[in-house]
Chain A
Amino acid sequence: MRNPQLNGDGKLQHLLTIEGLPREILVHILDTAASFIGVTEREVKKVPLLRGKSVFNLFFEPSTRTRTTFEIAAKRLSADVINLNITVSSSTKGETLLDTVDNLCAMHADMFVVRHSSSGAAHLIASHVAPHVHVINAGDGRHAHPTQGLLDIYTIRHYKKDFTGLSVAIVGDVLHSRVARSLIHGLTTLGAPDVRVIGPRTLLPTGVEQLGVSVHHDMREGLAGCDVVVMLRLQNERMKGPLLPSAQEFFKSYGLTPQKLVLAKPDAIVMHPGPMNRGVEIDSSVADGPHSVILPQVTFGIAVRMAVMSILAGN
Chain B
Amino acid sequence: MSKVHIKNGRVIDPKNRVDAKQDVFIAEGKIAALGKAPAGFRAERTLAADALVVCPGLIDLSARLREPGFEYKATLASEMQAAVAGGVTSLACPPDTDPPLDEPGLVEMLKYRAKSLNLAHVYPLGALTWKLGGERLTEMAVLRDAGCIAFSHADTPLSDTQMLWRALQYAATFGIAVWLRPQDGFLARGGVAHDGEVATRLGLPGIPAFAETIALATILQLVRATRTRVHLCRLSTAEGVAMLRAAKKEGLPVSCDASAHHAHLSEIDLGYFDSHCNVIPPFRSLRDRDALRAGLADGTIDALCSDHAPVDEDAKQLPFAESEPGVTGLELLLPLALKWAEEMRVALPEALAMVTSKPAAILGVPAGDIAAGRDADVCVFDPSAQVKITADSLKSQGKNTPFIGYELPGRVRYTLVGGQVVYEA
Contact = CB atoms under 8 A, between A and B. Distances in A.
Contact of B206 (A1, A123, A128, A206): A206
Contacts of A128: 317
A207 B208 CA distance: 12
A198 interface: no
B203 A207 contact: no
Among B200, B271, B317, B319, find the residue whose CB has the most chain A CB atoms closer than 10 A: B319
Among A4, A19, A142, find the residue whose CB has the most chain B CB atoms closer than 10 A: A142
Given A124-B317, A141-B321, A1 B271 contact: yes
Contacts of B184: none
B208 A120 contact: no
Interface in B197-217: 197, 199-206, 208
A123 B203 contact: no
Interface string A207-233: 110110000000000000000000000
A98 B317 CA distance: 8
A231 B318 CA distance: 32
A67 interface: no
Contacts of A98: 317
Nearest to A124: B319
Contacts of B196: 206-207
B322 interface: yes
A119 interface: yes
Among A118, A128, A210, find the residue whose CB has the most chain B CB atoms closer than 10 A: A118
B44 interface: no
Nearest to B206: A206
A28 to B, nearest CB: 23
A179 B317 CA distance: 26
B208 A206 contact: yes
A206 B194 CA distance: 10
Interface string B307-347: 00000001001111110000000000000000000000000
Contacts of A143: 202-204
A119 B318 contact: no
B197 A96 contact: no
B375 interface: no
A305 interface: no
Contacts of A118: 318-322
A261 B334 CA distance: 62
B319 A119 contact: yes
Among B201, B208, B314, find the residue whose CB has the most chain A CB atoms closer than 10 A: B201
Given A4-B272, A206-B196, A116 B317 contact: no
A141 B203 contact: yes
A116 B317 CA distance: 15
A96 B317 contact: yes
B195 interface: yes
Nearest to B271: A1
Nearest to A177: B203
B165 interface: no
A96 B320 CA distance: 14
A229 to B, nearest CB: 22
Nearest to B319: A118
Contact of B200 (A116, A120, A124, A208): A208
B318 A96 contact: yes
A134 interface: no
B273 interface: yes
A123 B274 CA distance: 10
Given A1-B271, A124-B273, A210 B200 contact: yes
A207 B206 CA distance: 12
B273 A119 contact: yes
Given A96-B314, A143-B202, 20 more contacts: A96-B318, A116-B319, A118-B318, A119-B273, A119-B321, A120-B319, A121-B319, A123-B273, A124-B273, A140-B203, A141-B321, A142-B203, A142-B205, A143-B204, A144-B203, A181-B201, A208-B200, A210-B200, A211-B200, A211-B201
15 contacts: A96-B318, A118-B318, A118-B321, A118-B322, A119-B203, A119-B319, A120-B202, A120-B321, A124-B319, A143-B203, A178-B203, A181-B201, A206-B206, A206-B208, A211-B200
Interface of B: 195-197, 199-206, 208, 271-273, 314, 317-322
